Amino acid sequence: MSNVESLKKSSWLSGRKGPVLLVIMDGVGFGKYADGDAVAAAYKPNLDWLMANCPHTQLKAHGVAVGLPSDADMGNSEVGHNAMGAGRVFDQGAKLVSNSIANGKMFEDTGWQEISANILQNHSTLHFIGLFSDGNVHSHIDHLKAMMEHAAAQGISRIRVHILLDGRDVGETSALDYVVPFEEFLQGLQAKGCDARIASGGGRMFITMDRYNADWSMVERGWKTHVLGEGRLFPSAQNAIETLRSETHAIDQDLGAFVIAGEDGKPVGTINDGDSVVYFNFRGDRAIEISQAFEGGPEFGRFDRVRVPKVCYAGMMQYDGDLKLPKRFLVSPPAIDRTSGEYLCATGLKTFACSETQKYGHVTYFYNGNKSGYIDEKLEKYVEVPSDIVPFEQRPWMKGAEITDALVAAIKSGEYDHLRCNFPNGDMVGHTGVFQAVKIGVEAVDLCIGRLKAAIDEVGGVMVITADHGNADDMLEHGKDGKPKLGSNGKPKVKTSHSLNPVPCIIYDPGYAGEYELVLREGLGISSIPATIMNLLGYEAPADYDLSVLVKK
């Protein structure tokens, strides 16, 4: 734990009899358009009552407000929970990587030097694996191109790219918008003497990008595809995408795996001894498991890797600082210190954190500044509810009831000063693009909030409701005229990515006695949540924390 002092008692807000509960409704923002706003369309009497009767404001949850390069960048759950846990804004992965490439530092540092030296000494292949889009949530295709151009200029003559199709942070069927121009880019490298090709791929929700140990079979399929070259063969990535799409009608994120074959009918890019591998996602949650597969020794038992090539492996960033995973990385992650959790522990306050598997790491690892494990096991309890392994649109209520069961029991136990939770529905179901399912997901969260409100009433506590970013509030692509864009079938184009919309901050405080203004501060970001929580607990926030939404009377 960082060297933090205990919090000072507030001179104007003494706290309440019961605990302060933070409810994070993942992916629930304020939509700009009526068409496609599943939050507005949902039947949500509890949220509607809270908005009508409680102090509330809107918070920024994207762009520079969460440490991303510009306000054109969507927020995401990782940076959102970093901000909500740290109480300040730190430059995040996308910005750090872009800056490191622009100033050349990436290519001067040890990680890249070792990757490239290994290739040049062994006359071997440089492989890139990662999310193939410009969504800028997990990766950016411009980072990939910059590294490939630099590698070719260094004299690296053989490059293979293993593409994970997005359709989640970008348009749901936009894969060819990236593949076709990328093939032209590869031709440019080939003209300069670098044999650069796409070697394999598949949808991000089908191969490789699992997280939180939810479904290791995804990583196993990715391993077989990228490393072993096992799977259905196609002459090109474009042919693979067009064929699989016509056969299955799946959106990009769910497309099956494919392997590209050369004229000899054999895979063009298996990963072998002596090669170098760069996993070019900068975001950590969906990068950890594939990194463990590459770096794990004989003790690795998640699946049979069949063949484990001796490679020089690097992540774009170090995805877990506590586990030192991966050992080699190209850009240092943000050094997030003095998180709100550390301050609460230093003050002797007891905390309870809970979510289901899909977002458990967000209310623990990311909330605690990208650090695994407890800050102080004597003062904290973390509960993970195992997620169902089914498509989210088939069970949009997810594990909301079970999360709420755990929270209600913890609230009524009287053991905890602060509790936090994440309901993933608005985000995880939102990414499916199935409007009816997303609407049900929001309604399920509303039911849970009703139960939590009753528990808070019973013990005399406070409930703060917010979100990490928008998603369910913007389920259709809109033109500049504000009207939904139409696809080739004449129907509105579905949007599966996050929105740029603000998110709520609602204070339900049944014990309110006039200590703060009922009209909360405006124009703040979600990094204001920690100071708000500390105030409601009866403490002053650290001087350099972003402002609380509460205004002293």
Q: What is the pLDDT of residue 335?
A: 86
Which strands make up the sheet holding 258-260, listed edge to edge? 233-234, 258-260, 195-203, 158-165, 126-131, 276-279, 312-317, 329-331
Of 66, 87, 57, 65, nearest to 505 by C-alpha is: 57
Ordered alpha helix ranges (H), 234-324: 237-248, 288-295
Separation of alpha carbons 532 and 464, rounded Å = 9
Separation of alpha carbons 441 and 425, rounded Å = 5
Task: Say whether pLDDT at 211 is over 90.
Answer: no
424-450: b or e for each residue (b if 16 or more CB lie within 10 Å)?
Answer: bbbbbbbbbbbbebbbbbbbbbbbbbb
Q: Which amino acid is at 544?
A: D
Topology of the domain covering 20-91+335-537:
Alkaline Phosphatase, subunit A (3.40.720)
- Model's pTM, two decimal places? 0.79
Q: How many CB atoms lie within 10 A of CB 202?
A: 31
Among 3-12, 98-107, 484-493, the least confident range: 484-493
**Per-residue confidence band for 487, with pLDDT thresholds at 50, 70 and 90:** confident
DSSP strand E in 101-191: where? 126-131, 158-165
Tokens of 489: 């079938």
Of 211, 182, 215, 216, nearest to 199 by C-alpha is: 182
Instruction: Give the residue-averaged pLDDT of 353-373.
Output: 95
Topology of the domain covering 94-331:
3.40.1450
CA 367 vs CA 59, 336, 428, 492: distances in Å: 18, 10, 18, 36
Query: Which of helix, strand or coil describes residue 540?
Result: coil
Separation of alpha carbons 428 and 449, rounded Å = 18
Among 41-55, 65-79, 139-153, 173-187, the least confident range: 65-79
Residue pair 276/118 in contact by the 8 Å Cβ criterion: yes
Among 9-18, 69-78, 223-232, 444-453, the least confident range: 69-78
Instruction: Give the residue-averaged pLDDT of 540-544.
Output: 97
Task: Say whether pLDDT at 1 is over 60.
Answer: no
Angle (CA) 221 224 226, round 5°:
100
**Per-residue confidence band for 382, with pLDDT thresholds at 50, 70 and 90:** very high
Q: What is the pLDDT of residue 480?
A: 86
Q: How many CA atoms lie within 13 A of 494 on its CB side?
A: 18
Separation of alpha carbons 362 and 368, rounded Å = 9
Q: Based on the residue annotation, tell me whether 77 is a catalytic residue of this protein.
A: yes
Catalytic residue from among 11, 14, 77, 124: 77
Separation of alpha carbons 511 and 443, rounded Å = 27
Separation of alpha carbons 472 and 469, rounded Å = 10
The residue to which tokens 């071997």 are assigned: 124
First-to-final CA distance of the chain: 35
The string of pLDDT tens digits covering residues 428-473 is 999 999 999 999 999 999 999 999 999 999 999 999 999 999 999 9
Residue pair 166/253 in contact by the 8 Å Cβ criterion: yes
The string of pLDDT tens digits covering residues 179-198 is 999 999 999 999 999 999 99
DSSP strand E in 222-366: where? 233-234, 258-260, 276-279, 312-317, 329-331, 351-356
The string of pLDDT tens digits covering residues 272-327 is 999 999 999 998 889 999 999 999 999 999 999 999 999 999 999 988 766 789 99
Domain boundaries of the chain, sorted by first residue: 20-91+335-537, 94-331
Cβ neighbourhood burial of 474 (10 Å; 0-12, 13-18, 19+): buried
